[in-house]
Amino acid sequence: MIIDCHCHAGKGDLLTGPWDTNAAIEPYLKRARAAGIDKTVIFSPFHSNYEQANANTARIATRFPDRFLCFAFVHAQRDKGRIRQIVEWAVTKWGFCGIKAHKMDGTATREVCEVARAFRLPVLYDVVSETDIIDLLAPEYPDVNFIIPHLGSFHDDWRAHVRVIDQISRLSNVYTDTAGVRRFDYLVQAIERGGAHKVLFGSDGPWLHPALELQKIRLLKLSPQDEALVLGKNLLRLIKGVGKSQQQRVEQKHKERYAKGVSCSARSPCASNRIA
């Protein structure tokens, strides 16, 4: 099973670039299908209201049953004090299985990490070259897994790549994804130094072509076991605990509602997509 761990879906409500305007999922799906990609982690593009944006992500997942895994986008600063509420809603109502945050919105905070810990969610956090924070976050939250996309820089910052390669090799709870990394030898180094268990295939679709990004993994010429890790098993391992804790939480919620005499018919588009 091939899983793309990084794809945007739905509309942004801004208009400054493709990243906050529109991430059309249909063209991506066509390309991903042709490339043999079975499942994809989706989250919103940049948005001025991530509660709305996450609801939109859930709606997209519902339209394509058993195809997507969803991460909840949060704004570390603007959503301050409400991150638990936003994430809890996404996890319990829609079965989301990770958190996405971006340095362009705001530097990740203790609040984001504590919510990730509480729900056992991985955090896909784009550091935009500011890799130093990883050396603070990772040891402070050893039970939270951090995926640093683009090997630390979408903008081809080789110094950030070098630092993230070092971090994934030193810090057991730090991972990276391959989305948009251009300088191929940094991917080779990431595998050599960090290990195949620390690198996840991601495309940054729909803006980058998933087949092109997938071909980079093929060109690494890994052993079948290592390639399987990069192409999906690592992601499955990182979200493994989520289903359990989420299931327990949902059951708890149902029990509480039942005790109060409230019926509950929450549908979970992502939960139905979860891989056992």
Residue ranges that bind Zn ion, judged by CB under 5 A: 204
Question: Shortest distance, CB of residue 71 to Zn ion, whole angstroms?
Answer: 11
Indicate the residue among 73 and 186 with the shorter CB distance to Zn ion: 73
Question: Shortest distance, CB of residue 180 to Zn ion, whole angstroms?
Answer: 8
Report helix, strand or coil for 158: helix
Residue showing the smallest CB distance to Zn ion in the complex = 204
What is the Cα–Cα distance from 166 to 193, expressed in whole angstroms?
A: 8
What is the Cα–Cα distance from 37 to 2, expressed in whole angstroms?
A: 5
For residue 78, the tally of other CB atoms under 10 A from its CB is 12
| Helix/strand number for the chain, H first, E second | 11, 10
What is the Cα–Cα distance from 205 to 273, expressed in whole angstroms?
A: 19
Question: Shortest distance, CB of residue 207 to Zn ion, whole angstroms?
Answer: 8
Indicate the residue among 204 and 227 with the shorter CB distance to Zn ion: 204
Question: Shortest distance, CB of residue 221 to Zn ion, whole angstroms?
Answer: 26
Indicate the residue among 204 and 213 with the shorter CB distance to Zn ion: 204
Indicate the residue among 4 and 204 with the shorter CB distance to Zn ion: 204
Strand partners, 240: none
What is the Cα–Cα distance from 250 to 256, expressed in whole angstroms?
A: 10
